[in-house]
Amino acid sequence: MLRIDSLTTDHGQVRAVDHVSFDVEVGSCTAVIGANGAGKSSLLRTLSGLVKSSSGSAHWGDVDLLKLPTSEVVRHGVAHVPEGRSVIAELSVEENLNLGALWRGKDPDVTVTKSEVLDLFPRLGERLKQGADSLSGGERQMLAIGRALMARPKLLLLDEPSLGLAPIVIEQIFHTIDTMRKATGLTVVLVEQNAVSALAIANHAIVLALGKIVASGEAKAIASDESLRHAYLGY
Ligand SMILES: Nc1ncnc2c1ncn2[C@@H]1O[C@H](COP(=O)(O)OP(=O)(O)OP(=O)(O)O)[C@@H](O)[C@H]1O
Ligand SMILES: [Mg+2]
């Protein structure tokens, strides 16, 4: 499982993640919700090694995530889809996908993974040779997720996959994440401001405010807690 204990991350004077502790069972989905600046991205970036923690611990099974460089984190089955649909605009859709599997070298199963990804996102299959810069926002997000899946991760860290997308595309992407998790036993940490969509597919949820966990529990219980909704979830 993913075990996070008293994790703290500072950006200079700003304490972005403040003694955060939670566990995520293998094969489950935990939603991390909270307002702008709550520390959600900083939490994911700490887990994938992009920023250094100040204290605390984070283990994925027996792997100490805080001790590894980002390139090693991916080898231990952890994939991070950062905020902002980050794809490489100069490369084609297919080249972007291939990048996700780079560390797998000549693994013959890479082609199997690619066809699985294209089954999940058929739109990408229709656009393999197109430049990534020609994709719509939703298609770029599909590509960013698809590229992460090319690494055949066991733990997927998703940062606001719904940001700026039309409701129908959001629904499709969340449905895909949910189906994939149930089919493959993938473990998911889903950072979202779109609390309604995230809580609908999550098993558990934590609510962050100013870097601290202010509520946690079963996703259903969080979703139906009216005072939490008013105070932190904005609906
Ligand atoms: N590189 C950085 N340097 C300085 N401060 C930073 C840096 N990155 C984040 N912060 C600060 O840390 C806090 C948490 O930011 P973070 O990006 O983790 O929030 P978030 O919950 O992901 O917000 P959003 O929903 O807007 O994406 C904010 O106050 C932010 O200004
Ligand atoms: Mg963020």
Task: Summarize pLDDT for 39-49 with one digit per residue, the tens.
Answer: 999 999 999 99
The least confident of 1-15, 50-64, 65-79, 124-138 is 65-79
Instruction: Give pLDDT, residue 232.
Output: 77
Higher pLDDT, 149 or 164: 149
187-218 tens-digit pLDDT: 999 999 889 999 999 999 999 999 999 999 99
What is the overall mean pLDDT for the chain?
92
Q: Is 82 in the pocket of ligand 1 (CB under 6 A)?
A: no
**For the chain, percent of residues with pLDDT exceeding 70:** 100
Give the pLDDT score at 169: 84
Strands 187-192 and 155-159: parallel
Max Cα distance, the chain (Å): 53
Q: Does domain 2-233 have CATH number 3.30.70.20?
A: no
Q: What residue segments make up the domains of the chain, in order of their start?
A: 2-233
* Residue among 8, 9, 11, 193 to mutate when testing ligand 1 (max atoms within 8 A of CB): 11
Which of 14, 51, 214, 233 is the best mutation target for the ligand 1 pocket, counting ligand atoms within 8 Å of the beta carbon and taking the most?
14
| Average pLDDT estimate for 68-94 | 90
| 163: amino acid identity, one letter | L
Could you tell me if the CB of 36 is within 6 A of ligand 1? yes
**Lookup: tokens for 77:** 């089955």
Q: Determine the Cα–Cα distance for residues 12 and 233; give it in Å rounded to an integer.
A: 28
Quote the pTM value.
0.93
Closest C-alpha to 7, from 38, 48, 62, 53: 53
Which ligand does the CA of 208 lie closest to? 1
Query: How far is CA 32 from each of CA 29, 119, 139, 203, 234, rounded to the nearest angstrom?
Result: 10, 28, 24, 11, 14
Q: Is the separation of the CB atoms in 157 and 47 below 8 Å?
A: yes
